[in-house]
Amino acid sequence: MGRDKVILLGATGTTGGSIINGLLEDGGFHVSVLVRLSSSNITTDNFESIVDILTRFDIVISAIGADAQLCQLRLIDAAKVAGVKRFVPCGFITVAPAGGIMDIRDEKETVYQHLWKAYVPYTIIDVGFWYQISYPRLPSGRVDYAIPIKMPLKLYGNAGLATAITDLRDIGRYVARIIRDPRTLNQKVFAYGELVSQQGAAELLGKLSGEQIEFHDHVDSNQMLANMEEAKATLLHNPTDYKARFEVIVAQYQYNGTKLYPDFKRISFESCLKEILRGDGFRINPGNI
């Protein structure tokens, strides 16, 4: 069999960078990148040229930014006309139902509904929270270099409740597996690394670092909802403020496929923390996720 031809939208973002690295590491795909494209510049005048581009590819993957989810709607229309064999919309978040829990999830649902109505073959991939933003600060400031936004040391909601988290670098490796698997066509796939609670992450980091992490406060569900509304109001005042958008997403995450590939060698959360403690971690850009 020949190698599938894949085109990726959003390759310069954090998630997109992981995806392109995973596809290239796999070596089983012809990979191209679609640049300078948004729904506003897919017009009647150039729609056919976009269709012509997509006709050359088997798989379209979108890793577009968090502030541009609806830009995928016209791209889906073009993919339908082009006869794309598989469209992977920009999922890549934690699992949550649509309907007022997370704004970004609701925007993604609009994209999914458009995809289903168009009868375009699809695979929706969610991955949970990233390891790289799933640990607290240390009193010494030792890991601050790798933390994108210096959050206060607080516990949120049920701090003992485990949630699915994933190493950012594993996302692309998962994608490479998933998009060649016939079992995942027209399916949703949840691929993650480990189940870890807020308390568990703090205890592990404390053990590895030899430092004692003391949380300053516990934020209950009522306060989290109030924080969410405050962040939304700030974002409404300045919709282009990526920090405000990030804070809305963070507030909503607080409230809130591994069985397919048992041989997948996931990066462990502990090894990620050890890497960060050695000074070998990396800081993500919250404005370019």
Distance of CA 234 to the CA centre of its chain: 23
Q: Residue 72 domain-assigned?
A: yes
108 counts as catalytic: yes
Which among 80, 108, 150, 274 is annotated as catalytic?
Answer: 108
Query: Assign residue 147 a region: left if phi > 0, alpha if psi is -120 to 50, beta otherwise?
Result: beta
Q: Residue 39 domain-assigned?
A: yes
Q: What is the CATH number of the domain that holds 117?
A: 3.40.50.720
22 and 173 Cβ atoms separated by less than 8 Å? yes
| Contact residues for 92 (Cβ-Cβ < 8 A; gap 6+) | 15, 63, 125, 126, 127, 171
The token duo for 116 is 């289903």
Q: Residue 270 domain-assigned?
A: no
Looking at residue 45, its pLDDT comes to 62
Q: Residue 234 domain-assigned?
A: no
Domain count, the chain: 1
153 and 136 Cβ atoms separated by less than 8 Å? yes
Identify the DSSP state of 131: G
C-alpha distances in Å from residue 112, one per residue of 84, 117, 122, 243, 246: 16, 9, 9, 26, 22
CA angle 13, 18, 24 (to 5 degrees): 120
Q: Give the pLDDT confidence of 80-134 residue by residue, as tens digits.
A: 999 999 999 998 877 766 777 667 778 888 999 999 999 999 999 988 889 998 8
Please tell me whether residue 69 adopts helix, strand or coil conformation: helix
Looking at residue 241, its pLDDT comes to 61
Looking at residue 254, its pLDDT comes to 38
Q: Residue 226 domain-assigned?
A: no
Dist CA 1 CA 214 (whole Å)? 56
Dist CA 76 CA 148 (whole Å)? 32
Q: Give the pLDDT confidence of 197-226 residue by residue, as tens digits.
A: 989 999 999 999 999 988 877 767 677 667
Residue 114: enclosing H or E segment and its boundaries? Answer: helix 103-117
Nearest residue to 133 (alpha-carbon basis) of 288, 284, 18: 284
Q: Residue 67 domain-assigned?
A: yes
Q: What is the chain's pLDDT, residue by residue, as a tens digit (289 residues)?
A: 579 999 999 888 899 999 999 999 999 999 999 876 654 455 556 788 889 999 999 999 999 887 788 889 989 999 999 999 999 999 887 776 677 766 777 888 899 999 999 999 999 998 888 999 889 999 999 999 998 877 767 777 778 888 889 999 999 999 999 999 999 999 888 888 898 998 999 999 999 999 998 887 776 767 766 766 776 677 667 766 655 555 554 454 333 356 677 888 889 999 999 999 999 998 887 666 6
Tell me what percent of the residues of the chain surpass a pLDDT of 70. Answer: 81
Identify the DSSP state of 40: G
The residue behind tokens 């998009």 is 179
Looking at residue 231, its pLDDT comes to 66
Q: Residue 239 domain-assigned?
A: no
The residues pairing with 5 across neighbouring beta strands, listed in sequence order, are: 30
Which residues form the domain of 66?
Answer: 5-128+166-192+255-264
Q: Residue 66 domain-assigned?
A: yes
